[in-house]
Amino acid sequence: MGDDVGFFEGVEKLMEIWFQEKSDQDDRGDAREITRQQWETILKSVNCEIIDEIKHDGHTAYLLSESSLFVSKNRIILKTCGTTLCLQALPHILKLSKTVCGFDGISDFFYSRKNFMKPDKQPHMHKSFQAEVEYLDKIIGGTSAAYCLGRLNGDCWFLYTLNDLPSQKNFGVKVPDQTLELLMVDLDREAMSQFCKLDKNGDPKSPAVFTENTGLADVFKGSKISAEFFDPCGFSLNGLIEKDFYWTIHVTPEPEFSYVSFETNAPRKNYSEVLDKIIKIFKPGRFAMTLFVNYLSTVDCSVWEERNGPHIAGYDCQDKQVARLQDYSLFYTNYKAGCS
């Protein structure tokens, strides 16, 4: 295969926005007031579209042609892959957050991504993290903090967030919050061969049956799930749990540029069972893992504080970094298949 023939950038751009509610009308702001039609207009500017929608317990998950969108009362998460213009959605979202949703402003903001496999193929604002930082500073204003964790000459992970502004009384997330993310590459070929749209007989696979047979439905039992295959291969899944908890998986199975992401904000004291299920299904050659927890979260971080982070059977920890942000602790670890 030629260097770029058929290449697809599975690595996602992930934007999470938390909004302030109006101080004089305590229950006024609600991001769910943005209609599907309005989201379709915004996503058109990003170069992706909605292919499915599910609602559960007051929050909505949209499965996109390139990844996912989650909307709850005062939080929006937009995750897009390929050559989409994720950050181009931000000005439109901020405008609607005031005119439609009734929010005063942003209470916190996070933008993150792994390093791209082919950054030169990205559109202008995403060609480098520095370009993304400059764009975000112009749109959001105020003070920001930008980080790179991992190896600049290998796998690394970028984060842009806000710094506390003393003048903003409502700054910060005021509820327990945590996010676990696995970004997997060099996936097992046999494991990836399952993620084709057609079965061995040339018939379309049922996403619902597939999630049951592969064990994906058991990652968070009882979830409301939306899943879809892509043509000829590729797979996406959104899962909604109670309250505003979600999980999502995106699979780019081609061996030349295989990539899988897993993400959830579901609170667990210990994530060992979830990690074990994901690793056994996808069998990555290596992966980066991040855990975000704020000061209200009930996640037990003691194992993440240890020298090599959580023990993953069959993998060696290559890198571990801990960052203390304002209201959050961030744990970054990088693993490679070995003999541990």
Catalytically active residues are 9, 12, 67, 81, 236, 250
Phi-psi region of 254 (alpha: psi -120 to 50; beta: other; left: phi over 0): beta
Bridge partner list, 237? 227, 249
| Cβ-contact 225, 239 below 8 angstroms | yes
Q: Per the structure block, which two tokens stand in for 109?
A: 């903001």
* Structure-derived torsion over alpha carbons of residues 161, 119, 131, 169, reported in degrees to the nearest 10: -10
Alpha-carbon span 187 to 286, nearest angstrom: 8
Residue 327 is classified by DSSP as S
Q: Are 180 and 263 in contact (CB under 8 A)?
A: yes
Residues 82 and 105: their CA atoms lie apart, in Å, by 29
> Rounded CA gap, 185 and 166, in Å?
41
Strand runs (DSSP E) across the chain, as ranges?
Answer: 13-20, 50-56, 59-64, 67-72, 75-80, 105-114, 144-150, 156-162, 178-187, 224-229, 235-240, 246-252, 259-264, 284-294, 315-324, 328-337
DSSP 275-300: HHHHHHHH-EEEEEEEEEEETT----
Sheet holding 235-240, edge to edge: 224-229, 235-240, 246-252, 259-264, 178-187, 284-294, 328-337, 315-324
CA distance 93 to 89: 6
Nearest in space to 170 (alpha carbons), one of 295, 24, 31, 19: 19
